[in-house]
Amino acid sequence: KSCDGIVEFKDVTFRYEGAEKPVLEGISFTAKPGETTAVIGSTGAGKSTLLQMIPRFYDVESGSILIDGVNIQNMKQSTLRNKIGYVPQKAMLFSGTIAENMRYGKEEATDEEIHDALETAQASEFVQKREQGIQSILEQAGANLSGGQKQRLSIARALVRKPQIYLFDDSFSALDYKTDSKLRYALKTETSNATIIIVAQRVNTVKDAEKIIVLNEGKIAGVGTHEELLNNNTIYQEIVSS
């Protein structure tokens, strides 16, 4: 099938323009549909960069990135963007209603689709508390929202589009552990066959993932489940105990 959403990195190296050292070096892994692949590592390890290579914000220096066996460099940009729901580290909300913000990327979304997405993103409750519900106005950049509320709206917006591949860049960092866990569980249930790639700094966010990749100074320092890495990966052990 051509529409599965298998993401494959093959020996990917990338360096920012003018930089002496590559920020990613020899990265190989596969992220599969129906699974969560998490990338954990300290600040500056290259996690955001790795994620941003998938929608081609940057192109590889060597190696390749494939989606369902096709090199993303040979894909039409619109085809690639349609497959991907990218949730950036900083939520990009604009002045307008919540509904308008949710329809950014899928203008024809129905109110029901918006409500479903908000539900999955654990955002229904605080949206419904507002008198106007999804018709409530967000101030510029969501100034009248908490960091965690912004993250949840940003996640809901991606859900409205129903992409095959979700990319979350530290999108759970402002949530308390319980909401973080609940949201990821709902996400998994509601998007059963999607490919989910999560970048995070804290263990709580990655521990349920089918595959955890430990990124250290631009290189893969280990791959496994939470239990496996706890047993055999010193860098992961350090992150857990820090």
Query: Residues in the site for ligand DGT, rule: CB under 6 A?
Result: 16, 19, 23, 41, 43-49, 201
Q: Which CB sits closer to ligand DGT, 41 or 85?
A: 41
Q: Which CB sits closer to ligand DGT, 116 or 169?
A: 169
Q: Which CB sits closer to ligand DGT, 43 or 189?
A: 43
Q: C-beta of 12: minimal distance to ligand DGT in Å? A: 13
Instruction: For 95-126, give one letter per residue: b (16+ CB within 10 A) or e.
Output: eeebbbbbbeebeebeeebbbbbbbbbbbbee
Q: C-beta of 159: minimal distance to ligand DGT in Å? A: 23
Q: C-beta of 219: minimal distance to ligand DGT in Å? A: 12
Q: C-beta of 28: minimal distance to ligand DGT in Å? A: 18
Which residues are paired to 195 by β-bridges? 165
Q: Which CB sits closer to ligand DGT, 109 or 196?
A: 196
Q: What is the C-alpha separation between 119 and 187, in angstroms, rounded?
A: 10
185-193 own/partner pairs: CB under 8 Å, 24+ apart: 186/119, 186/120, 186/121, 186/122, 187/120, 187/121, 187/155, 187/159, 188/36, 190/116, 190/120, 190/159, 191/120, 191/159, 191/162, 191/166, 192/34, 193/5, 193/33, 193/34, 193/164
Q: Which CB sits closer to ligand DGT, 123 or 175?
A: 175
